[in-house]
Amino acid sequence: MDAFVQAMLRARISRRVIAEQHLALTETFNSPWHVPRPSSENDFVGEVLLRCNAKEVIERCGKIAQDICRSPEAGGGQVPDIKILGHTNATFPYVLSHLEYIISELLRNSIQAVMETNVGSTSKPEPIEVLICEAPQHVVIRISDRGGGVSRDLLPYLYSFTKGPRSSRRLENFGQVPELAATVNEVTPALGGKKRDSSLGALASRPPNMKLGMGLPMSKVYAEYWAGGLELHSLEGYGVDAFLQISRLGNQNEQLTSRASIDAV
Pairing of strands 128-134, 82-86: parallel
Write out pLDDT tens, residues 141-150.
999 999 999 9
Residue 64's CB: how many other CB atoms inside 10 A? 17
Number of residues assigned to the chain: 265
* H helix intervals, 31-162: 39-42, 54-69, 96-117
Using CA of residue 19, residue 55, residue 224, residue 163, what is the dihedral sign?
negative
pLDDT for 71-116, tens place per residue? 877 666 799 999 999 999 999 999 999 999 999 999 999 999 999 9
168 pLDDT exceeds 70? no
CA distance 172 to 2: 18
Cα distances from 189 to residues 29, 171, 179, 184, in angstroms, run: 17, 31, 16, 9
Report pTM.
0.76
Spatial distance between the Cα atoms of 59 and 43, rounded to a whole number of angstroms? 19
Mean residue pLDDT of the chain comes to 78
Residue 193: is its pLDDT beyond 50? Answer: no
Q: How far is CA 20 from CA 48, 126, 172, in A?
A: 10, 40, 31
Sheet holding 91-95, edge to edge: 44-45, 48-53, 91-95
How far does Cα 196 stand from its chain's mean position? Answer: 19
What 3-state class would DSSP assign to 162?
Answer: coil
Strand order in the sheet with 82-86: 82-86, 128-134, 138-145, 239-247, 229-235
* 27 — pLDDT class (breaks 50, 70, 90): confident
Domains and CATH numbers, the chain: 2-263 (3.30.565.10)
